[in-house]
Chain A
């Protein structure tokens, strides 16, 4: 019955309109404002991106639209209109219908959005049954939906359970479910955040294609500016529950008019920036806590440009004259926003690099085979690397490529297979941690990906760092105190933080504690396992700067694991690209990025969404990463390789052959040929 109604009002009304929306969460007996008088309009068929750091209220917007707020959340003012229909006035039944028929949401973690004990087919047909289509008809439509989200062999996928699908496939199914009732509004809340780069690229392509087929308007929520810039027509920047800037995506990102947007963009390592060329900019301070009393501009405390006026007079949303479309900025001095001085000086003292210092770490033919249900699973196969003092080796690859296993082998947390060799400063290391000497143990430390797991939540920061100093540096008493103060200062924590427990610190501060702990025993090598993947970009920039500073000061070497190529590029001198436990390409950072690349590296590089949208030829990988228990014959990449040359790829594993001094590629295609192919690809092809 809503169809005719929708058709009648649909043309005139905006798909979504938030007017002066205020939302508060009740915490500790007090209502704390999360969204403050938010105004936002999404036109029919428009894709609107909402960006901001964690805690700024992005997800609250998504939840408010369908009134899914948690029990302690309430809408304290304003109005929400979906297709011109006031959501606040809907009764329970009408709300249920709106959720069933006109709005769909896709969340970050598809594993949680799907019911683990019900087959995919059943979960999909259920939606059609709600719309009174049943039996074979529902099944046919479910298959059609799966086809629509480009799932090959949908009939067999229908029979599977969610855990039998990869993350990318699960997210496609979640998108298929969201699209099943042909919603007029699609809310995507960080839909690609947990996915690998190549899979993310696929899902984004899919969403882009679907946009053209469907009429749905999209609210796209993400912390990833590049993803938003790729997907959205207009973008809004959210800060402390307020829109601080809004406008056409390209205009906002290329010509930001609010100091926060300016600062956020500067935090990203861009254009191949490297640690020896300068430090990243950061945003000092923190987002105001929820419910904070904001007198003037919410960003004033962190803004170098702020004046007395900013602290006392809340800026309105100034409308900017711009021929690219309507633009808004909540800054008194929006015309000066781009002259925002850097918060962190860029200049670095270039370290005098001793060219011929001997390798601090040499790894030769390292293997690790796990037994998985009786089958051997080769997590790391025949990996050899070497690392000089003060240098960084970046390890890149998708999940399941063996990056973390390799790190654990080095550290001795898991013993490698017989035969490989790990040599630290010329001395061979025992395979197991227990058999290594205290000196060897303290020489190699790690900063884990997730500080919540890495820091003991029962211990104070003082205990965590102090214990490391006691065990690794062998200090006690006053000497320990002195060194503790030193160390804490060098990771830019303060005395005040020492008495706190990890849960009382933000993610970035926790990661600093983890870094301090790793540096306690003056290590030679620190393994950094995705240390910034859980952090916001401004915090990431500060951590990357810190790591770069510590490296140039202490001459420590890093093994830096990350899926974020820009981050790896910023910090690394050498890069190794891993696929199914094998090194596919290894070489000096600049060579690996400049190319010619291994076809896999090429695909990884092209999968990264770029802020400036300079159109490059995209290389898309088909299918899934094969299982490591049953790797493809020949070159393990041949099943997905866009440059496969023939049967030789399926039968014979190519050697890792050195193309240029230090730069080796595991591919049957000769180096010169790769160079020619990839140069051609860069040139624009006729449409």
Chain B
């Protein structure tokens, strides 16, 4: 390609295949080549499909009891056995992801939005604003999620919304910290000074100039947090602060059946536990893949 501009001898940029795609497209294509990411994505997609369509292929109604067949071990009729009131464990595991897969992502989304805003403000203004907000956030991070949840439930009552708010707000400071450090680095770049030399408002500089450049670390942190959020929702449900019966939620099922393990009825707990573990592993693998793609 050698088209030269008659205007002043500045020809077209040289063809350069490596530059043709944008940075996000580049990341996308490297994700498609990442075994880690694809494995994680497959696991997560499987559970999302179960949550969406599980009731159509679950062999039994996950909520229907059958006292006569209570605590039946795994068999041809009940692949994963039945629980203490005779509900089919296999069917319950299949649809059990429904609540956790709405609550955990919403909590993560809330954490990301709140954390990004806080991180932008503290990183951009630095100084006293940063000192005050950062110390508050650190204090917040020092309190265990469970205690915050307990207090919130006393104050707000148990509901999915409470769980979302509690987990969202407990994770926000962690995301804020990541965003803040990315913003501190961006702020030193000359395009921020150039924005100041146009008398841009602080909000414009933060959200239009800086934010697009700190998206990569935010995406990485968000996927990592999603894994933790799933774990946290399951924990809260297990403790009775989270999702409430009669939902076939995994954490809740483990909570109501774990007393049975001593009696040898391991199937009432094992499959739910494996389900939680596989989902968390799936999300973490995907997160690893995203992290790798952005940091190559």
Contact A301 B198 (CB under 8 A): no
Interface stretch, picked from A196-204, A452-460, A603-611, is A452-460
Chain B, residues 20-49, CB within 8 Å of chain A (1/0): the string is 001100000000000000000000000000
Q: Measured between alpha carbons, how far is A492 from B16 in the docked complex, in Å?
A: 21
Known: A448-B190, A458-B212, A504-B13. A467 touches B198 (CB 8 A): yes
Q: Is the interface of B mostly helix, strand, loop or mixed?
A: loop
Q: Measured between alpha carbons, how far is A497 from B13 in the docked complex, in Å?
A: 8
The closest CB in chain B to the CB of A433 belongs to B196
- Total interface residues on A, CB under 8 Å, equals 51
Q: Is there a chain A Cβ closer than 8 Å to B200's Cβ?
A: yes
Least CB distance, B195 to chain A, in whole angstroms: 8
Contact A284 B14 (CB under 8 A): no
Known: A411-B197, A453-B190, A454-B194. A503 touches B23 (CB 8 A): yes
Known: A28-B18, A506-B13. A492 touches B194 (CB 8 A): no
Chain A, residues 420-446, CB within 8 Å of chain B (1/0): the string is 000000000000010000100110011
The closest CB in chain A to the CB of B196 belongs to A433
Q: Is there a chain B Cβ closer than 8 Å to A285's Cβ?
A: yes
Q: Measured between alpha carbons, how far is A289 from B190 in the docked complex, in Å?
A: 29
Contact B191 A456 (CB under 8 A): yes
Chain B, residues 177-190, CB within 8 Å of chain A (1/0): the string is 00000000000011
Contact B209 A284 (CB under 8 A): no
Q: Is there a chain A Cβ closer than 8 Å to B144's Cβ?
A: no
Contact B200 A344 (CB under 8 A): no
Least CB distance, B203 to chain A, in whole angstroms: 14
Interface stretch, picked from B2-10, B168-176, B277-285, is B2-10
The closest CB in chain A to the CB of B214 belongs to A458
Q: Measured between alpha carbons, how far is A27 from B19 in the docked complex, in Å?
A: 11
Contact A471 B199 (CB under 8 A): yes
Q: Is there a chain B Cβ closer than 8 Å to A517's Cβ?
A: yes
Q: Measured between alpha carbons, how far is A189 from B8 in the docked complex, in Å?
A: 34
Contact B22 A501 (CB under 8 A): yes
- Total interface residues on B, CB under 8 Å, equals 31
Known: A492-B10, A505-B13. A441 touches B4 (CB 8 A): no
Known: A289-B15, A455-B191, A456-B191. A284 touches B197 (CB 8 A): no
Interface centre among A454, A458, A492, A497, by most B CB within 10 Å?
A458
Q: Is there a chain B Cβ closer than 8 Å to A286's Cβ?
A: yes
Interface residues of A in 349-380 (CB under 8 A from B): none
Contact of B9 among A344, A413, A442, A505 (CB under 8 A): A344
Contact B9 A284 (CB under 8 A): yes
Known: A284-B11, A289-B16. A413 touches B193 (CB 8 A): yes
Contact A441 B10 (CB under 8 A): no
Interface residues of A in 394-423 (CB under 8 A from B): 411, 413
Q: Measured between alpha carbons, how far is A445 from B5 in the docked complex, in Å?
A: 29
Contact of A450 among B2, B190, B197 (CB under 8 A): B190
Q: Measured between alpha carbons, how far is A453 from B16 in the docked complex, in Å?
A: 22
Q: Is there a chain B Cβ closer than 8 Å to A288's Cβ?
A: yes
Cβ contacts under 8 Å, B191 to chain A: 453-456
Q: Measured between alpha carbons, how far is A413 from B192 in the docked complex, in Å?
A: 11
Q: Is there a chain B Cβ closer than 8 Å to A385's Cβ?
A: no
Contact A286 B13 (CB under 8 A): yes
Q: Measured between alpha carbons, how far is A438 from B194 in the docked complex, in Å?
A: 14
Q: Is there a chain A Cβ closer than 8 Å to B12's Cβ?
A: yes
Q: Is there a chain B Cβ closer than 8 Å to A509's Cβ?
A: yes
Interface residues of A in 498-541 (CB under 8 A from B): 500-501, 503-506, 509, 512, 517
Contact of B14 among A288, A450, A512 (CB under 8 A): A288
Q: Is there a chain B Cβ closer than 8 Å to A163's Cβ?
A: no
Q: Is there a chain B Cβ closer than 8 Å to A207's Cβ?
A: no
Interface centre among B8, B22, B23, by most A CB within 10 Å?
B8
Contact B190 A441 (CB under 8 A): no
Q: Measured between alpha carbons, how far is A504 from B15 in the docked complex, in Å?
A: 10
Contact A285 B11 (CB under 8 A): yes
Q: Is there a chain B Cβ closer than 8 Å to A489's Cβ?
A: yes
Contact B19 A503 (CB under 8 A): yes
Q: Measured between alpha carbons, how far is A442 from B5 in the docked complex, in Å?
A: 31
Contact of B213 among A285, A289, A454, A457 (CB under 8 A): A457
Contact A446 B213 (CB under 8 A): no
Cβ contacts under 8 Å, A493 to chain B: 10
Q: Measured between alpha carbons, how far is A457 from B212 in the docked complex, in Å?
A: 9
Cβ contacts under 8 Å, A500 to chain B: 13
Cβ contacts under 8 Å, B189 to chain A: 453-454
The closest CB in chain A to the CB of B5 belongs to A494
Contact B19 A504 (CB under 8 A): yes
Q: Measured between alpha carbons, how far is A260 from B54 in the docked complex, in Å?
A: 70
Q: Is there a chain A Cβ closer than 8 Å to B296's Cβ?
A: no
Q: Is there a chain B Cβ closer than 8 Å to A343's Cβ?
A: yes
Contact A413 B196 (CB under 8 A): yes
Q: Is there a chain B Cβ closer than 8 Å to A60's Cβ?
A: no
Cβ contacts under 8 Å, A288 to chain B: 14
Q: Is there a chain B Cβ closer than 8 Å to A496's Cβ?
A: yes
Cβ contacts under 8 Å, B190 to chain A: 448, 450, 453-454
Q: Measured between alpha carbons, how far is A343 from B8 in the docked complex, in Å?
A: 10
Contact of A492 among B9, B12, B14, B212 (CB under 8 A): B9
Cβ contacts under 8 Å, A453 to chain B: 189-191
Known: A286-B14, A450-B190. A433 touches B213 (CB 8 A): no
Chain A, residues 14-31, CB within 8 Å of chain B (1/0): the string is 000000000000011010
Contact B196 A456 (CB under 8 A): no
Contact A285 B16 (CB under 8 A): no
Q: Measured between alpha carbons, how far is A517 from B22 in the docked complex, in Å?
A: 23
Cβ contacts under 8 Å, B23 to chain A: 457, 503
Cβ contacts under 8 Å, B197 to chain A: 411, 413, 433, 441, 445-446
6 intermolecular pairs with C-beta atoms under 8 Å apart: A433-B199, A446-B193, A446-B197, A454-B191, A459-B212, A512-B10
Knowing that A286-B11, A496-B12 touch, tell me 9 more A-B residue pairs with CB under 8 angstroms: A28-B17, A285-B9, A289-B15, A453-B189, A453-B190, A454-B189, A456-B213, A493-B10, A504-B13
Query: Which 5 A-B pairs have CB atoms at the shortest separation, nearest pair first?
Result: A458-B212, A454-B190, A471-B198, A284-B9, A492-B8
